[in-house]
Copies of this chain bind each other. A is one copy, B any other.
Amino acid sequence: MKPVKVGLLGLGTVGGGTHQVLMRNAEEINRRAGRRIEVVSAAVRHPERHVDVVLPLATDPFDLVRDPEIDIVVELIGGIEPARQLILEAIAQGKHVVTANKALVALHGNEIFAAAHQQGVMVAFEAAVAGGIPIIKALREGLAGNQIEWLAGIINGTSNFILTEMRDKGRDFADVLAEAQALGYAETDPTFDIEGIDAAHKLTILASIAFGIPLAFDKVYTEGIAHVSREDVQYAEEFGYRIKHLGIARRVAEGIELRVHPTLIPERRLIANVNGVMNAILVKGDAVGSTLYYGAGAGAEPTASAVVADLVDVVRTLTADPGNRVPHLAFQADHITDLPLLPIDQVVTAYYLHMQAEDRPGVMAEITGVLADQGISIEALIQKESAPGSTIVPVIMLTHRVREERLVRAVEQIEAMVAITGTVTRIRLERLNAD
């Protein structure tokens, strides 16, 4: 089947990331979409800055949206104009559109969707809210059986980074903001982020999808975080609360509340523990109860992840028979591969070990010697006090990562030691960090 042809408007952070992900994961994406997705050109303002990109570059974006070869236009230039005119022109040309432009969708979505509806083309915008978190899909499809009662989201990473630093390090707002700008987490003009405008754009979109109401950015109450002092953060802590900058949309008897402001939330809530630049959205549906969606809310590749998911959605809809739009197992039936599934003794992981040892000199050296022979290094070790009248002490340790067969051999040898009573408890340990 012939490839679907994509034109990129913009090759900045997100545009470059999208091109990168489409190239790097081309095979995986093809296995899922059932058809190759090919970027055939990109429109950029300064072609001389992209000499390393192996792609035909256009300087007039209107040439790109009118190019008859292109099936899908991906708009990643941001801002209102010319993005709005470009998208409307692409729609008029019968092209499908994918955009990450939250401001544009929040302010002009009603107009754009009406035009798309008229032309029978798709306009997809997963990347417009919370970066790589598939929250649009979750609300629009995954929770389609629910009355949504409310949602509350940490949907601006810069504000969350600042509040997290204020709490962790007892620092002042202005101080942290300066650091965030230096680290590139905050723009040189941080108004959109810290005054809540960016969050209000995203909340507008989420609320519209949750409740089936028109997009109404101008009705969102918006308050930023500049007036939150480090004392407030600390006092909140004393009451058992964290301060987060939330976008909240709630259905009440009289209508819909739409508001962005700093908010105290109980520290035991999962969302209170979403720190740094990360985003999360908590959604309360009448049937499902509370669900939470967490991930990176910005950045080149997280945002590209959402853009590419939208591209795959469009391609699946264009291509597959309606009886099988999304493949059962995510990948097309003729692209399921039979990778080796490893037996547990070939797995590499860290371990928690708990054993009962005699409390006399030399025992610890013997245990650690067995571990060393198998190439197992110890990360932490605690030897407990023995019970009164007993010479047996619990020894607990954490190991570094090792292939399980080696650990099994070491444990067999330890259990055979005369100084060891009973069996060694082994529990695997995973750090689950994102690296």
Complexed CA–CA distance, A74 and B232 (Å): 52
List, in ascending order, chain B residues with CB within 8 A of A248's CB: 430
User: A22–B147 Cα gap in the complex (Å)?
Assistant: 11
Contact with B along A256-273 (1 / 0, CB 8 A): 111101111110011101
Q: Which residues of B contact A116 (CB under 8 A)?
A: 324, 328
Taking CB atoms and an 8 Å cut-off, the chain A residues in 287-315 that contact chain B are 287-296, 299, 301-302, 304-309, 311-313
Q: Which of A207-261 contact B (CB under 8 A)?
A: 208-216, 219, 221, 227-229, 231-232, 235-236, 238-239, 241, 243, 246, 248, 251-252, 254-259, 261
- Asked if A380 is an interface residue, CB under 8 A from chain B, the answer is yes
Q: Is B138 within 8 A of A329, CB to CB?
A: no
User: Copies per complex?
Assistant: 2
Q: How far is the CA of A25 from the CA of B116 in the complex (A)?
A: 28
Please indicate the chain B residues that have their CB under 8 angstroms from the CB of A321 in the complex.
Answer: 120
Tell me whether A113 is interfacial, beta carbon within 8 Å. Answer: yes
- B229–A304 CB distance below 8 A: no
Q: How far is the CB of A34 from chain B (nearest CB, A)?
A: 11
Query: Complex: how many Å from CA A434 to CA B286?
Result: 10
* B431 close to A265 (CB less than 8 A): yes
Complex contact A126–B144 (CB within 8 A): no
A251 to chain B, nearest CB (A): 8
A116-133 with Cβ < 8 A to chain B: 116-117, 119-123, 125-126, 131-133
Chain B residues contacting A302 (CB-CB under 8 Å) are 287-289
Stretch from A169-177, A186-194, A343-351, A408-416 contacting the other chain: A343-351
In the complex, what distance in Å separates the CA atom of A32 from the CA atom of B106?
20
Query: Which residues of chain B are near A430, meaning CB under 8 Å?
Result: 152, 246, 248, 263-265
Q: Is the C-beta of A45 less than 8 angstroms from some C-beta in chain B?
A: no
Q: Known contacts being A122-B323, A215-B329, A262-B428, is A252 close to B143, with CB within 8 Å? A: no
A145, chain B: closest CB distance, angstroms: 3
| Contacts A232-B425, A304-B145; A210 near B286 (Cβ below 8 A) | no
Which residues of B lie under 8 Å from residue A31 when comparing CB positions?
A: 212
Majority secondary structure, A binding face: mixed
Pick the contact of A289: B29, B132, B243, B256 (CB < 8 A). Answer: B132
Contacts of A323 in B (CB 8 A): 119-122, 317
A166 at the B interface (CB under 8 A): no
Most chain B CB within a 10 A radius of its CB, from A137, A248, A322, A329: A329
CB distance from A287 to the nearest CB of B (A): 4
- Closest chain-B Cβ to A299's Cβ sits at a distance in Å of 8
Please measure, in the bound complex, the distance between the C-alpha atom of A28 and the C-alpha atom of B147, giving whole angstroms: 7
CB of A287 within 8 A of CB of B259, answer: no
Tell me if A335 is interfacial: C-beta within 8 Å of chain B: yes
Given contacts A210-B330, A241-B352, A317-B322, contact A296 B289 (CB under 8 A): yes
A28 to B347, CA, bound (A): 47
Cross-chain contact B262 with A427 (CB below 8 angstroms)? yes
With contacts A232-B354, A347-B259 taken as known, whether A309 is within 8 angstroms of B214 at the C-beta atoms is no
Q: Assess whether A336 is in contact with B214, with CB atoms less than 8 Å apart.
A: yes
Instruction: Determine whether the beta carbon of B29 is less than 8 Å from that of A145.
Output: yes
| Cβ contact within 8 Å between A434 and B256 | no
Would you mind naming 15 contact pairs between A and B with Cβ atoms under 8 Å apart? A17-B287, A29-B144, A120-B324, A137-B138, A144-B330, A145-B304, A152-B430, A213-B339, A221-B347, A232-B425, A235-B382, A235-B394, A287-B305, A290-B295, A292-B294
